[in-house]
Structure formats: C-alpha cells, structure tokens
Structure 1
Amino acid sequence: MTWAELLERLAQGQDERTLFLPPDLSPEELARYAAGLANHKGGTLFLGVGPDGKVLGASDIHPLQVTHALFELTQGLLLPYVEAVEGPGGRVLALHVPQSPAAIAVGAGRVPFWDGRRLTELRMGQALPEPDFTAQVLPAASLSDLDPVEVLRLRRILEERGSALAALPDLELLFALGLLERVEGEARPTVAGLLLAGTPLALRRLLPQAEVSYYFHEDEEGYTFREDLLRPIPALLERLRDLIQARNRVRYLTVGLFRLEVWDFDQEVYREALLNALVHRDWQSRDAIQVHHHRDRLEISNPGGFPPGITPENVLRHPPKRRNPRLAEALYRLGYVERAGSGVDKMYRLLLKYGKEPPEYRLYPEALTLVLYNPELDEGFVRELAEAQERFGAFSLDHLIAVGYLRRVEEATLAELSRALQLPEEASRKVLSRMERMGLVRREGGRYRLAQRDSLAERVLAFLETPRSRREVEALLGLRPRAALALLNRLLREGRAERVGRGAATRYRRR
C-alpha cells in the first residue's frame, strides 16, 4: 500500500471492515479490536490513526511486536498480515485481518465483535464450520453439464495410475470420485464434479469463479500477454503448464557424471503451488485465481486465506487442514495431490535444492498470494550442494533450509535459524549439531555460519579412503608434524575421520 492509497482509505472513514486506532493502546485492547474485526467480516485495522482519520503515527511499534502479541493473546487463532506504510505524515501500521470461521476470544469468555461503529461482546460459543462447498449440488446443475470428453480424460488419468476405478462404468466412476450425488433419485454433479469435468458453458453459467487469469510481465510496467482460462482443472493445469513452460528458461550444470537441469521455475514446484491455490481457495468467492509470471518471480493469488491456526510462520510444520475436502479427495484419487499434505514440503525441497529461496506467503484479509522467486543462478553453490549430497547422501529438508538460510544471511543465531526452520529451539539445536558434525556449518560466539570449503581437508579425506598414518599425511601435503596432527584432530572432532589402532600402529581413515 502506498502513502497516497493510505490517505485515500483514511478519507473514507471507518466502517464495518475498516477501523482506526491510536498508537497508545495496550496489547490486550489491540487484540480485542483485531479479534472483533475477525469475528465479523474481517478487514483492515489502521494503527496510528485517530477516529477522524488523522495520522498520529506508530513509529515506535514494530510489526513483529504486533503479530506476536495478537498470536499470544488469541491462543494462536489470529495472525494478521502487518504492513508498515510510511510517508510525509509519519508511519502507520495496516493490519490486514482475515475473517475467522470460528469465534476468537480474548480473555476468559470474552468474544469481541466490531459492528462498524463500536466494539461489543458476543456470548461465548464456537461458530460451526462452514459446509464443504465443493460437496454441494447446485440447484441448476444437471448431468448434462458434464463433458464426456473430460470424463474420458479422468478415466485415462486413472488408467495411467493403474487404479481399479478406471474399470468402472462412467456413472459409477463419477460417484466413486465424489463427483455425483443422488438428489430425489436423480444423479446430479457436485461442485467438485463441475470443477473436474464440467463443460465450458456450465462453468460460465454456474461457476464463473473457476476462471484463472494468466499474465506474463516482460518488465514491471504492466503485462505483455494475458489469457483467461475457464476449463476443468485437469485441462486447466495442462494449459497453464504450456503457458509457463513457453516462457521458462533452463540452464544445464554438470556435476560429476550427472547433468542437472535448473529451470527458472521448476515444473513440479509451480504445479504444487497451482494445486494448493485450487484446493484451498474459497470457492464461494466470485473472484478468480491470478497467475502473474515475471522473469524474477511467479505470483499465484487465490481468494481465501489460510485455514484457522495456519500462518506463514508455521505452514511448513502445521498438520494439513483441507478447506474443500470433496475436491481434495478427488484430486488425491486422481494422483494430483498427496493426502498427507506434503505439497509445501515438496516445494521447499525442490527450490532449496537448486539454490533458490523458499516460497513466500503474503496474507491479506480475503486472499493469499504465494511467491516463487527466481534469483540469479549461483552455479558454484548448486554444484557444492550436489557434491555434498553425493558425499553424505540426500540432505533432509531441515538441512536444506538451514544451508539455504545461512547462504542468504551469512550468519545467524539459533533463534533466527529456529524461525527459518519453523521448529522449537531445542529441535533446531539438534539439527545444527548434526550439521556441525557433518562439516556443513560451524558455530562461533553463539552464531552459525556455513563451513567454508576446505580444499586441504578435502585432499586429506580423499587420501583417507584407505587407513593412513600421520607420517603419510605429512608426506602427502608437505606439512610439519604439528600442523598435520592439528588437521587430523580437527577432522576427528568434526566427525569426518576416525582413529584406528593405538600407539605406533595408529591410522586415520575417513568416516
């Protein structure tokens, strides 16, 4: 949000989705107002603004203070996206608060509610979860709204997977996938059925929000190409793949005997991102999914935020929550998604494997944007990472996250790495201790750094594939006895070598 956009919003005054607050509120008061917005329709809370829309400023308040306080005071149920807007009149914090499907309390039995004029309290009571919209049958939907060609496509997908469902007749197949329901004895398509096999006319008439708009940006001055897609999900994914791949560049790197393909945007990564947008979006919203393809990033935006309890700070570790179970189950049976919800893990792993940044989530009151970045390729780092995995075996996701984070920031504390790993500090310490033993990181003065590549140690380790004496190491490297012993002892401490035998028979070998 720009300063001009902020002033325009403030000039419109407060309403049921917009709230102005001064900067001197206590954390508890701020939490009550933010929860009051979430318990109604969600909206934007401007901190550092008087009731008349005058900017008072909030320069002493850090966005992280706000998110931490709200998270703690609402038992983890409220974590808005906080945006700092600065201009000639000072600094204002804009808290984008999503609508909550369940009542959020602040304090014992206190459920605040903002009605557009004042903050009131509701009686304590958990709101019922909304029914699965994708399992519903729309009143005007009929069997003729399904496209036989798309039903055949679903059958072909199941045949390729070797699924027993592929042998069923059409109607039985569609019932088994949850794409049909019987209503007064008549077979009629569910919303999931229309999304996976509906005709273009039926989608336009019944589910226009199923449209996905693709934009390609040659630069930051607007888009140079646009295509609006309204098709069933399998056909939609194929067309989006074609559009992205037509503008997707690839580099080839040779590592040992292998050749790596490094794309601007890995096909598996953006496929997972697109599926997440389709599976987790709010299908009752009339807004479309948007895909903005830039040279340096891919942005995928969908209506609806995270399910309650999930935030950008815990999305990697939080147990999966499905907003549209019927659609998710059908896509699982078709092999598009994993039931265990491992899509986020897969995106992280593939991005970090090629030296890219992890996905970034931007949360807004009624939407979520996932950003996949395409930084300049660091060939040396990708080669070193691949070679290290050849030596130690495939890295765990935790190792990849820590290595990627330290590469970006150079050094970090345990607390900082814990936030990057989305793990408690004790669990993070165990991950980092193992990485120290592997020689991947080193700790100095309470801060962690990537271990520099040590060509001398690498030569010794290669030599120690067969047990060797200290004198043999001295002769190989031309070192003095003390220097050779110091190097061998360091390799022993790092767990990269081990001592065999005793006394004059002592030998060293690589672990």
Structure 2
Amino acid sequence: MTWSELLERLARGQDERTLFLPAEVSPEELARYAAGLANHKGGLLLLGVSREGKVLGVGELHPLQVTHALFELTQGLLLPYVEALEGPEGRVLALYVPQSPAAIAVGAGRVPFWDGARLTELRVGQALPEPDFTAQVLPQASLSDLDPMEVLRLRRILEERGSALAALPDLELLFALGLLERVEGEARPTVAGLLLAGTSLALRRLLPQAEVSYYYHEGEEGYSFREDLLRPIPALLERLKELIQARNRVRYLTVGLFRLEVWDFDQEVYREALLNALVHRDWQSKDAVQVHHHRDRLEISNPGGFPPGITPENVLRHPPKRRNPRLAEALYRLGYVERAGSGVDKMYRLLLKYGKEPPEYRLFPEALTLVLYNPELDEAFVREIAEAQERFGAFSLDHLIALGHLFRVGEASLGELARALQLPEGASRRVLARLERMGLVRREGGRYHLVRQDPLAERALALLKTPRRRREVEEALGLSRGAALKLLGRLLREGRVERVGRGAATRYRRR
C-alpha cells in the first residue's frame, strides 16, 4: 500500500472490514481488535490512526513486535502480515488480518467480534469454521447444469492418468470426484461440480465470479488485447495456455550435449500459478481472477488473501492450507494439483533453474497478486547452474534459492540469505556450507558471494556478443595465439560460440 492509497482509505472511514486504532492501545486491546476482525470476515487494521482517520503515528514500533505480541496473545492462532507505511504525517502500521476458519479467543473464554461499528464478544464455540463453499449445493443448481462434453473431458483426463475412476458410469464418477451430492434423494451438482463441468449458461447464472479476464499489454499504458473467459476450469486452463503461448518467446541454450528451452514464462510455472489462484481464491467473492500479461512480467490476481497464518515471508515453508478442500481434492484426483502442496516449491525451482527471480506476492486486504518476472536472460549463469548440476547432481531447492539470490544481489550476509531462504540462520548456514564445499560460493568478511567458474570464458563471451576475429580476441584478452585458439575451440565444442565465415573472413560470435 502506498501513502496516497492509505490516505484515500482513511478518508473513507471505518467499515465492516477496516478498523483504526491509536498506537497507545495495550497489546491485549490490539489483540482483541485484530482477533475481532479475524472472527468476522478479516480485513485491514491501521495502527497509529485516530477513530476519525487522522494519522497519529506509531513512533519506532516495529512490525515484528506487533506480530510477536499477537501470536503470543492468541496462542499462535493469529499471525497477520504487517506493513510499515511512512509519510509526512508520521508512520502507520497496516495489519492485513486474514479471516479465521475457527474462533480465536483472547483470554479465558473471551471471543471478540468486530461487527463493523463496535467490538463485541461471542461465546466460545459460537464462531464455527465456515463450511467449504465449493462443497455446497446452490439452491438453483440441478443436474442439467452440467455439460456432458465437460464430463467426457474429465473422464478422458482420468483415462490418460490410468485412474480406475475412469471406468465408472457418469453419475458414479461425479459422486466419486465430489462433484455431486444427494439432496432430498436428488443428485445435484456441488459448486466444485459446476466449476469443473458446468455449462457456460449455468456458470453465468450461478457463478459469474468464475470468469477469468486475460489482458495483454504491449507497453505500460493500457492493454492491447483482452479476453474474458467463463468456462469450466479444465477448458479455462487450456484457453489461457493458448493465449499466453501465442505471446511467449523461447530461446535455446546448448549445454554440452543438451539443448535447453528457456521461455519468457515457463508453462509449468504459470500453470501452477493459475491453479493456485483458482484453488485458493475466495469463491464467495463476486470478483474475477485477472491475468495481466506484460513482456517482462505475468501478474495473476485473485480475490481473497493467503489462508490464515501464511504470509509472503513464510509461504515457501508453511504447511499447506486449502481454502476450498472439495475443489482441491477433485483437482488432485484429476492430476492438476498435488495433495501435499500448493505448487509454490515447483514454481521456485523452475524459475531459479533458468536464472529468473522467485515469484513475488503482493498482499491486499481482499486480494492477492502473484508476479512472475521475465528478466533479461543471463546465458552464462544458466549454463553454470546446468553444468554444476551435471557435476554434483540435481540441486535442492535451497541451493537454487541461495545461488539465485547471490546472482541477483552480488553478495549478502547470512541474515539476508536466511530471509531469502525463509529458514533459520542455523539451517541457512548448513545450506551455504554445502555450496562452499562445492566451490560455488565463497565467504569473505562475513558476506557470501558466487565463485564464477570460468572468468576468462565469461570475458570472452561478453566480448563475442559482437562477431570478432581471433586476433581481436587475443588482443582484447591479452592471450597468445595458441591460448586464444584453445579457448575458442573449447567454447565451440561447448556450443557457447559459433564460427561465422571462412578463411581470412572467419569471425566468432556468442550463440
């Protein structure tokens, strides 16, 4: 949130999901108000603001002090994401409080509840976990709202996976996937059933929020193409793949005997990102998922923030939580998602393998945006990672995160790397020690940096971005004729350089 966005929010005043508090409140009082928001619908708590919306400031209060106090006072049930905002009038802390699936008490038998105007208390046990919306049967839904062709698509997906479910008759198959329930003896589709096999008319009538809007941006001003998609999830994913791939560039790198494909946006990565947006979104919200495709980034936004307890700082390590278990289970059986994880680690691994940045999460009170960046390809780093894995075997995700972070920032302290790894410093030190033994990382003066394996080759490759004669390479690098021929011969064999022209016109250039 920017300062101007904060001022706009303050001007609108408190409401059902927004609460203002001065910094002087006690930790216990802050915990009661934060838990009150969580016990209702979740929302935004602005600390350091008067009830009238005037900035009072919080002084030097640190976000970690707030999260620690709330964690302790709610027995570990409440851990909001806290953002510090600074402006001319002072410093404000924004607490993004997720909705809690179960009642959070503060003190013995006290369950606070924010009703939009005041803080009240409920009896313990009164605030129950909300039912899984995707497991519900909507009153107007009937079996005729399912598309037979989409049911056939699900069957074919199961056949390709070799699943025994594929042999079941249609109704039994849909019951087995959790897409049908019996209501007063009648088979009727659940919300998950409509999302996976509903007709377009049924989705528009019953679940218009199932729409996904795709935008392609040639530049930063506006968009040049838009398509709004209201289809069952399997058909939706196929069409989104077509739209993204039509504008997705690929480059090829030769590493030894292998050729690597490096896409602007890896298909597995954006598929996982799209599935996360659909599986973990708030399906009761009427807002749609949005996909903004830029040349340098892909932004995927969905209604609803992280599940309770998950933040951008721990998303990689936190045990998985599913907001919509019925939908997630059906997608697992169809092979779209893994039962034990959210796919975040897969996205990290594939991005870092090709020298790209980890996914970025932008958290808002009622939405979440995931950003996949497409930086300029550094062929030398991608080759180093590939060659190192040939020598040492496949790297763990932790190794890739550490190497990728050092590649981007140059050098970093143990604390900085621990934050990038989302691990304690002790565990991070063991990861780095392993990389030191491999000869890939060096520690000097308490800071870590990469050991580039072949500085002479890197200088030659940088020089050969423009075609050069052998003699030019000799002079630029200060090499003898024999040493230059040996270096160029090795780079040719590795597929990193190619020869252009013949005889006296021969030149070398980087591939």
Residue by residue, what CA displacement relative to the aligned partner does 1:322-354 show, whole Å, maximum 9, x if unpaired?
222221121112111111215111111001101
1:233 — aligned with what?
233
Is 1:13 equivalent to 2:13 in the alignment?
yes
Aligned 8 A contact 2:35 2:113 in 1: yes
| Aligned-pair CA distance for 1:365 | 2.3
2: CA distance, partners of 1:52 / 1:140: 44
Is 1:56 equivalent to 2:70 in the alignment?
no
Aligned 8 A contact 2:212 2:290 in 1: yes
The change in CA–CA distance for 1:254 and 1:327 in structure 2 (over 3 A counts) is same
Shifted more, 363-372 versus 111-120: the winner is 111-120
1:423 — aligned with what?
423
Equivalent residue runs for 1:114-193 within 5 Å: 114-125=114-125, 127-193=127-193
| Aligned-pair CA distance for 1:318 | 2.2
The change in CA–CA distance for 1:181 and 1:49 in structure 2 (over 3 A counts) is closer
Aligned 8 A contact 2:290 2:302 in 1: yes
The change in CA–CA distance for 1:15 and 1:420 in structure 2 (over 3 A counts) is same
Aligned 8 A contact 2:81 2:311 in 1: no
Equivalent residue runs for 1:74-85 within 5 Å: 74-85=74-85
Residue by residue, what CA displacement relative to the aligned partner does 1:120-179 show, whole Å, maximum 9, x if unpaired?
444444842222222222222111111111111112212222222222222222222222
Q: Secondary structure at the match of 1:434?
A: helix
The change in CA–CA distance for 1:232 and 1:311 in structure 2 (over 3 A counts) is same
Equivalent residue runs for 1:273-288 within 5 Å: 273-288=273-288
Aligned residues, how many? 458
| Aligned-pair CA distance for 1:314 | 2.1
2: CA distance, partners of 1:412 / 1:75: 34
Aligned 8 A contact 1:77 1:309 in 2: yes
The change in CA–CA distance for 1:79 and 1:387 in structure 2 (over 3 A counts) is same
| Aligned-pair CA distance for 1:228 | 0.9
| Aligned-pair CA distance for 1:87 | 4.1
1: CA distance, partners of 2:284 / 2:384: 47
| Aligned-pair CA distance for 1:410 | 2.4
1:504 — aligned with what?
none
2: CA distance, partners of 1:36 / 1:113: 4
Q: For the aligned residues, what is the CA RMSD?
A: 2.5
The one-letter amino acid paired with 2:102 is A
| Aligned-pair CA distance for 1:105 | 3.5
| Aligned-pair CA distance for 1:7 | 2.7
1:101 — aligned with what?
101
1:343 — aligned with what?
343
Equivalent residue runs for 1:368-447 within 5 Å: 368-447=368-447
1:355 — aligned with what?
355
The change in CA–CA distance for 1:118 and 1:197 in structure 2 (over 3 A counts) is closer
Shifted more, 285-294 versus 59-68: the winner is 59-68
Is 1:312 equivalent to 2:300 in the alignment?
no
Q: Secondary structure at the match of 1:49?
A: coil
The change in CA–CA distance for 1:327 and 1:421 in structure 2 (over 3 A counts) is same
Residue by residue, what CA displacement relative to the aligned partner does 1:357-413 show, whole Å, maximum 9, x if unpaired?
111222222222211111221111111111111111111111001111122222233
Residue by residue, what CA displacement relative to the aligned partner does 1:164-215 show, whole Å, maximum 9, x if unpaired?
2222222222222222222233222221111111110111111111111111
| Aligned-pair CA distance for 1:25 | 4.3
The change in CA–CA distance for 1:111 and 1:258 in structure 2 (over 3 A counts) is same
Aligned 8 A contact 1:142 1:188 in 2: yes
Residue by residue, what CA displacement relative to the aligned partner does 1:206-239 show, whole Å, maximum 9, x if unpaired?
1111111111122222222211110011100000
Residue by residue, what CA displacement relative to the aligned partner does 1:70-101 show, whole Å, maximum 9, x if unpaired?
44544443333444444443443333322222
| Aligned-pair CA distance for 1:118 | 4.2
Aligned 8 A contact 2:98 2:308 in 1: no
| Aligned-pair CA distance for 1:47 | 2.5
The one-letter amino acid paired with 2:199 is T
Q: Secondary structure at the match of 2:416?
A: helix
Aligned 8 A contact 1:273 1:300 in 2: yes
Q: Secondary structure at the match of 1:404?
A: helix
Aligned 8 A contact 1:282 1:303 in 2: yes
The change in CA–CA distance for 1:109 and 1:432 in structure 2 (over 3 A counts) is farther
The one-letter amino acid paired with 1:303 is P
Aligned 8 A contact 2:203 2:231 in 1: yes
Shifted more, 426-435 versus 204-213: the winner is 426-435
1:472 — aligned with what?
none
Aligned 8 A contact 2:103 2:128 in 1: no
The one-letter amino acid paired with 1:155 is R
The change in CA–CA distance for 1:26 and 1:450 in structure 2 (over 3 A counts) is farther
Aligned 8 A contact 1:113 1:120 in 2: yes
2:113 — aligned with what?
113
The one-letter amino acid paired with 2:391 is R
Q: Secondary structure at the match of 1:220?
A: coil
Aligned 8 A contact 1:81 1:364 in 2: no
Q: Secondary structure at the match of 1:172?
A: helix
The change in CA–CA distance for 1:217 and 1:31 in structure 2 (over 3 A counts) is farther
The change in CA–CA distance for 1:115 and 1:397 in structure 2 (over 3 A counts) is same
Q: TM-score, normalised by structure 2?
A: 0.83
Q: Secondary structure at the match of 1:130?
A: coil
Q: Secondary structure at the match of 2:247?
A: coil
